[in-house]
Amino acid sequence: MEDVLLVDHPAPGIRLLRLNRPKALNALTMELRRALADAIDQAVDDPDTAVVILAGSAKAFAAGADLKELVDASAVDMVQRATHRLWARIAACPKPIIAAVRGLALGGGCELALHADMIIAGSSAEFAQPEVRVGIMPGAGGTQRLVRAVGKAQAMRIALTGVRVAAPEALMLGLISEVVDDDAVEPRALALAQEIASLPRIAVQKIKEAIVLGADASLEAGLAIERANFQLLFATSDQHEGMQAFLDKRPARFTGA
């Protein structure tokens, strides 16, 4: 059997996870969902991994759930599948995740991209939550992460109509981070990942933690999270090295400690 998920290490500190069902436009089966969650766990446990890149193929990042697995499913079947636990393992990753999106990111594919911390999209990429067109609704964060990314008015338009949003509009709405030429998507994602991987790893993770946790907290609670993480970083060797290097006018030598 062909591996549904390919794992690569294109540069030091970088782990690339590539969805590998190109004939099915990388539609998300349970096998692929489990493989992806397991691969994220492995990245979290690997001290050599600083940044994770999620990628698909030229035609599709992921074109949603594989409807062959869902067309005859009952409500009890869906409860027992417990896919939310698999998604939660991705959401809980403390290391930065960059989605490199070419082609279609529809339904579960759009939701997978929304689990990333940054989305680099090709100029021909399209994003959508088309579940309403097959009689259901987004079920992996497409109503919750989407509204946090683009606001209520645009989230309603996207989820209630299933409209496809082209990359330039997605950038304007705040859904994605950057738009580049299609053939530059993965090189740009890799360059960004390498830049982040070269920085103090504890500081990077604490920044992600503060932004993610603070986004759903009150301003006061968010500021408390930020303050605690800021103060904690003064216990790291990289804090002293970074500041001393700045004062010495030399490149910093970060160790992740």
In this structure, are 111 and 79 located in the same domain?
Answer: yes
In a domain, 189, yes or no: yes
* Given 35, 43, 55, 65, the catalytic residue: 65
Can you list the alpha helix ranges (DSSP code H) found in 46-166? 75-81, 83-91, 108-114, 145-150, 152-161
The pLDDT tens digits of the residues spanning 218-238 come to 999 999 999 999 999 999 999
Q: What is the mean pLDDT of residues 127-136?
A: 96
* Given 109, 125, 131, 203, the catalytic residue: 131
In this structure, are 193 and 241 located in the same domain?
Answer: no
Percent of the chain exceeding pLDDT 90 equals 95
In this structure, are 189 and 222 located in the same domain?
Answer: no
The pLDDT tens digits of the residues spanning 146-162 come to 999 999 999 999 999 99
In a domain, 255, yes or no: no
In a domain, 69, yes or no: yes
Adjacency order of strands within the sheet including 60-62: 60-62, 104-106, 126-128, 165-166
Res. 1: pLDDT tops 70: no
In this structure, are 137 and 242 located in the same domain?
Answer: no
Q: Is 209 a catalytic residue?
A: no
**What's the domain range around 129?**
5-197
* Given 111, 122, 170, 197, the catalytic residue: 111
Q: Per-residue confidence at 184, pLDDT binned at 50, 70, 90?
A: very high
Average pLDDT value over all residues in the chain? 96
* Residues 128, 15: Cα–Cα separation, whole Å: 27
Percent of the chain exceeding pLDDT 70 equals 99
In a domain, 138, yes or no: yes
Res. 66: pLDDT tops 90: no
> Rounded to the nearest 5°, which phi and psi values hold at 122?
-75, 160
Q: Is 111 a catalytic residue?
A: yes
CATH number, domain at 227? 1.10.12.10
In a domain, 254, yes or no: no
In this structure, are 87 and 179 located in the same domain?
Answer: yes
In this structure, are 99 and 167 located in the same domain?
Answer: yes
How many domains does the structure of the chain reveal? 2
Is the distance from CB of 221 to CB of 214 less than 8 angstroms? yes
Q: Is 126 a catalytic residue?
A: no
Q: What is the mean pLDDT of residues 60-82?
A: 92
Res. 202: pLDDT tops 90: yes
